[in-house]
Amino acid sequence: MIRLVDGVPAESLPLADRSIQFGDGVFRTLYIRDGGIPFWQRHMAKLAHDAAALGIVAPSPEAWLADLRVHATASATIKLVLTRGESPRGYAVPADCTPHRITQIASPAPTIDRRAGITVRVCETRASWQPRLAGIKHLNRLENVLARSEWSDSVVFDGLLLDRDGDVVEGTMSNVLLLERGALLTPRLDGGGVAGVMRDVAFEAATAVGWQAGEARISLQRLRRAERVWLCNSLIGLVPVARLGDHSWPVDQSPVDSLFAERISACAAQETVWLV
């Protein structure tokens, strides 16, 4: 793995960095394929939005691209981390706090067999409720760590996090999508969760194939009644869910399903930034 801090190869951060002390920062995970980064501008817009929500000034997209053009390989997994910077002990943010830009470049993620669909489970760990942080991909991911520690069975691809009312929020590493009577729905993220890039892309693709798209309260009962269920994030794309406990969904694609997947692929091709 290649690690850069503010564009310079490094293997450590100062112990005073607020990401270490408090998880004070934001991040994005994305990939390079054949020298191109799909949805680059969307990722940069999300990063800047999330940073601004925490009062952190994001570096320009060109600064991140400069790191990647020098050090990245043609195919890789990328994690971009923005910390608020260093400060003494205590929660108060000093006026002279300078953000740190961290770039991690790793091997490509393993491929997924989408034909069979994936298996998910329900986590006992609940998603936290904090409207001010809702949708933001911040560095406080401890509940995801605890939820992911609940299983070791490699058959289970991801776990679903429920809110305090028992409604579905997201997967530990993914957003949830479901098809219900010609509408693509995803859980409402007004109290917590992460609004991922692929979630937005899927909404646009759904509209393009004639489906309605929107957010809703999704109980486990409603999820089980759905015609189709998918998980999505920027590394896995869109993956059909086949099983949750003793419940199953079809994963064979109808013509409209195929058109939906093709539209997402077309969006990725259109919105790729090339490193060379």
Span 71-123, pLDDT tens digits: 988 999 999 999 999 998 899 999 889 999 999 999 998 888 888 899 999 99
Right CATH number for 2-106 from 2.40.110.10, 3.30.470.10, 3.40.50.360, 3.40.640.10? 3.30.470.10
The per-residue pLDDT for range 122-159, each reduced to its tens digit, is 999 999 999 999 999 999 999 999 999 999 999 999 99
Dump strand ranges (E) for the chain: 2-5, 8-9, 25-32, 36-38, 76-83, 100-106, 118-126, 156-162, 168-171, 175-180, 183-187, 212-216, 228-233, 237-244, 247-248, 272-274
The per-residue pLDDT for range 209-230, each reduced to its tens digit, is 889 999 999 999 999 999 999 9
Q: Which of 35-49, 54-68, 108-122 is predicted with the least confidence, judged by mean pLDDT?
A: 108-122
**Contact yes or no for 239/112 (Cβ under 8 A):** yes
Residues in the chain: 276
The CATH number given to 118-270 is 3.20.10.10
The per-residue pLDDT for range 166-205, each reduced to its tens digit, is 999 999 999 999 999 989 999 999 999 999 999 999 999 9
What span, in angstroms and rounded, lies between the C-alpha atoms of 91 and 53?
17
What span, in angstroms and rounded, lies between the C-alpha atoms of 93 and 87?
7
Strand pairing class (36-38; 8-9): unpaired
Q: Tell me the pTM.
A: 0.93
**Contact yes or no for 84/24 (Cβ under 8 A):** yes
**Domains of the chain by residue range:** 2-106, 118-270
What distance lies between CA 10 and its chain's CA centroid? 25
Could you count the other beta carbons within 10 Å of the beta carbon of residue 74? 12
